[in-house]
Amino acid sequence: MHTNHSDLYRSFAAEVSDLPLFMQPWYLDVVCRGGSWDAVTVQKGGKTVAALPYFLKQKFGWRYITMPQVCKQMGPYLHPEYRSLKWEMRLYEDLIAQFPPGLAAFEQNFNYLVTNWLPFFWQDFRQTTMYSYVLSLTDSEDLIFKNIEKNYRQKIRAAEAKLLISHDLPLTELHRLIGLSFERQGLDQPLDFSFLECLYTALYEQGCGKLFFATDPSTGALHSAALLAWDNTSAYYLMSGDDPALRASGAAVLLKWEAIQYAKNVVGVPVFDFEGSMIRGVEQGRRDFGAQQRPYFQVLREWSTLWKWGKFLKRQ
């Protein structure tokens, strides 16, 4: 029996323990703005054993699947009892067969759990390997700190001596600093405040989000802010912003270290995910924290020739 009803996916999500944050139904409820989300599922013996949630949008008459804002990875997810190569081959093909008809394009970043995309290749999808950076939190805090590059360790200690870490400033301050960070790069603020407010409220209600602020107590100036989120297996440095005029204080580096300690000692998850970037300068900063490279797949297909040409021309 096959279905693609989101209610069935919600029931499935409540039964499994390691469903990633970005694939949780309540998370998708928040981030899937400007379209709608649903899921394709496969059942065996009356039990859901495989699922693939997707974000469906429409533009100029085209219907396409893409990634929502502030959603790092989606893709197929298998019940733990069915995570073998034999089942992957069968179940992934079953999921693909249920994609909505008449799609112009498909583009998703798959979760780290997916290491086999061969059934998608057989169906004329293609993939690009992307990288994030993750830090194991199973080592001692001293060893984690020791593995950070010396210049970062020095920045952390210097910032600790002059900045105050707090968690209760208004969410508007994080939004403001994110805007300043993008303005410094000549870019527009990427997040609508109402979106950020809904996202933080959902994280707070689920007990899986924490704000971090670094302030100079002598002047009251806010240097840096960040939002940490987590699921049962990983903590994610979801977003951050800094005052460009105060970047020399080392506040941004300090907040990352504070978030790492919180993820290890308070949340108790084994992995800290920096939400890595393919941008050279950002990648260096993650690596300097001692994080290890972790690959994941971006899987794509275009059914519409016009859509394909539109994407090609956009890149020129």
pLDDT tens digits, residue range 158-198? 999 999 999 999 999 999 999 998 888 887 888 999 999 99
Residue 280 lies inside a defined structural domain of this protein: no
For residues 195 and 156, membership in a common domain is answered with: yes
Distance CA 174, CA 226 (A): 7
For residues 78 and 158, membership in a common domain is answered with: no
Residue 158 lies inside a defined structural domain of this protein: yes
pLDDT (tens digit per residue) in 100-145: 999 999 999 999 999 999 999 999 999 999 999 999 999 999 999 9
Query: Total domain count for the chain?
Result: 2
Residue 276 lies inside a defined structural domain of this protein: no
pLDDT band at 1 (very low <50, low <70, confident <90, very high): very low
Alpha helices, DSSP H, located in the chain: 6-15, 25-31, 85-96, 118-122, 141-146, 150-162, 171-184, 193-205, 251-262, 280-288, 305-315
> How far, CA to CA in Å, does 163 sit from each of 239, 250, 254?
20, 9, 9
> How far, CA to CA in Å, does 132 sit from each of 140, 178, 213?
22, 21, 24
Is the pLDDT at 25 greater than 50? The verdict is yes
pLDDT band at 308 (very low <50, low <70, confident <90, very high): confident
For residues 9 and 117, membership in a common domain is answered with: yes
Whole-number pLDDT of residue 228: 98
From the CB of residue 298, how many other CB atoms can be counted at a distance below 10 Å?
17
Q: What is the mean pLDDT of the chain?
A: 93
Is the pLDDT at 3 greater than 60? The verdict is no
Q: Comparing 218 with 187, which gets the higher pLDDT?
A: 218
pTM of the model: 0.93
For residues 214 and 114, membership in a common domain is answered with: no
For residues 250 and 306, membership in a common domain is answered with: no
Domain with residue 44: its CATH number is: 3.40.630.30
Quick one: CA dihedral 168, 69, 241, 188, positive or negative? negative
When pLDDT is averaged across residues 23-29 and rounded to a whole number, the result is 98
Q: Which residue segment(s) compose the domain that 68 sits in?
A: 2-130+296-315
Percent of the chain clearing pLDDT 70 (strictly above): 95
Residue 228 lies inside a defined structural domain of this protein: yes
